[in-house]
């Protein structure tokens, strides 16, 4: 791991997004809450939050961080589901890995919950949208 001990504590914020393309019938089942594994959007959001909290355990050289906010939101669109995350901490290193991990795991959760009915799903566009740091 990189030594960040000399870096100042700052408010650090990162936002990420990604999406999964789904068949119309799959979207209908999700909208009507008819998927056998349960409420796809709610479970995906919780999975994303859990993943952000464990990023330091998943990514070998990533610092474990004391996160102060994790927000994961799902949105149904005509072609699938968009996931957006925002992660914050006060520390000496950024939270972009946590934001990206939250989106990735949320999308993988949608995939897992829908794989029995949709064989054509595609996860795409996982990207860091913004990262900032502010003196406190």
At residue 135, the pLDDT reads 96
Tokens linked to 9 = 């504590």
Query: CA 108, CA 88: separation in Å to the nearest integer?
Result: 22
Output the pLDDT for position 78. 97
Structure confidence by residue, pLDDT tens digits, 20-49: 999 999 999 999 999 999 999 999 999 999
Q: What is the pLDDT of residues 75-123, one digit of tens each?
A: 999 999 999 999 999 999 999 999 999 999 999 999 999 999 999 999 9
Residue from 39, 78, 112, 135 carrying the catalytic annotation: 112
Domain ranges of the chain: 10-135
Beta-bridge mates of residue 67: 89
CATH superfamily of 10-135: Molybdopterin cofactor biosynthesis C (MoaC) domain (3.30.70.640)
Give the tens place of pLDDT for each residue, 13-22: 999 999 999 9
Question: Residue 61: what pLDDT?
Answer: 95
Q: What is the pLDDT of residue 66?
A: 96
Going by C-beta distance under 8 Å and a sequence separation of 6 or more, which residues neighbour residue 44? 72, 74, 81, 83, 106, 107, 109, 110, 113
Active site (annotated) includes residue 118: no
Average pLDDT of the chain is: 97
pTM of this structure: 0.96
Provide the 8-state DSSP code for 112.
H
Choose among 19, 31, 39, 36: nearest CA to 115. Answer: 36
């Amino acid at each position: 791991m990189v030594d960040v001990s000399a870096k100042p504590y700052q408010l650090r914020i990162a936002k990420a997004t990604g999406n999964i393309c789904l068949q119309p019938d799959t979207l209908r089942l999700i909208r009507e809450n008819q998927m056998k594994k349960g409420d796809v959007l709610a479970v995906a959001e919780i999975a994303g939050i859990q993943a952000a909290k464990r990023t330091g355990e998943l990514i070998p050289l990533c610092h474990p961080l004391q996160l102060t906010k994790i927000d994961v939101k799902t949105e149904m669109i005509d072609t699938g589901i968009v996931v957006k995350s925002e992660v914050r901490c006060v520390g000496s290193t950024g939270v972009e890995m946590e934001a990206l991990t939250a989106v990735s795991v949320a999308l993988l959760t949608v995939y897992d919950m829908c794989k029995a009915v949709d064989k054509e799903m595609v996860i795409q566009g996982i990207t860091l949208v913004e990262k900032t740091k502010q003196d406190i």
